[in-house]
Amino acid sequence: MDMRIVLVQGDITAESVDAVVNAANSSLLGGGGVDGAIHRKGGPEILAACRDLRNSHYGKGLPTGRAVATTAGRLPARHVIHTVGPVWSPDEDRSELLASCYREALRVADELGDRTVAFPAVSTGVYGWPMEDGARIAVETVRAAATEVEEVRFVLFDAAAYAAFEAALAR
């Protein structure tokens, strides 16, 4: 079945979808940016679930490029899928790790039966990934993914990010 890709400019915590993807850090214990917004709006249930995951599976942290799901707490979603993007490096090509975030998040969504998934532009904030390149990798990876997900919504915080994704989609 064909996947629909939709672009939205705004705050990902307002999206009614099956799964909201979080650009987490490997500690899973919260941070700034989209991570901070998700925990603030979703409430303490998400952090409690992240703590449990840390204790049961990820004592050393969730590895970069991987994804794991929790409750969505008070967000209008069924799950939050936490993924850890790579920090941008001028010396090393970490594109495959960034692509892995999108692929793994969709794989987790498939496991949960989630059919609509909202993604932020992973790694393009504090982690410094250039927006045009981050958008290209996001769109190419999602398009190429073998998944049952029916709708991917890229939720972009500002007009520049939206424009970068629009350009990537047009290619």
Binding site for ligand ADP (CB under 6 A): 11-13, 23, 33-35, 37, 85, 120-127, 155, 157, 161
How many CB atoms neighbour CB 12 within 10 A?
Answer: 26
Task: Please say whether the beta carbons of 23 and 37 come within 8 A.
Answer: no
Nearer to ligand ADP, 124 or 147 (CB): 124
Nearer to ligand ADP, 58 or 127 (CB): 127
Selecting among 2, 11, 18, 35, the annotated active-site residue is 35
Strands (E), 64-114: 67-71, 77-84
Whether 52 is a known active-site residue: answer no
Nearer to ligand ADP, 105 or 155 (CB): 155
In the bound complex, what is the minimum distance in angstroms from residue 36's beta carbon to ligand ADP?
8
Residues annotated as catalytic are 35
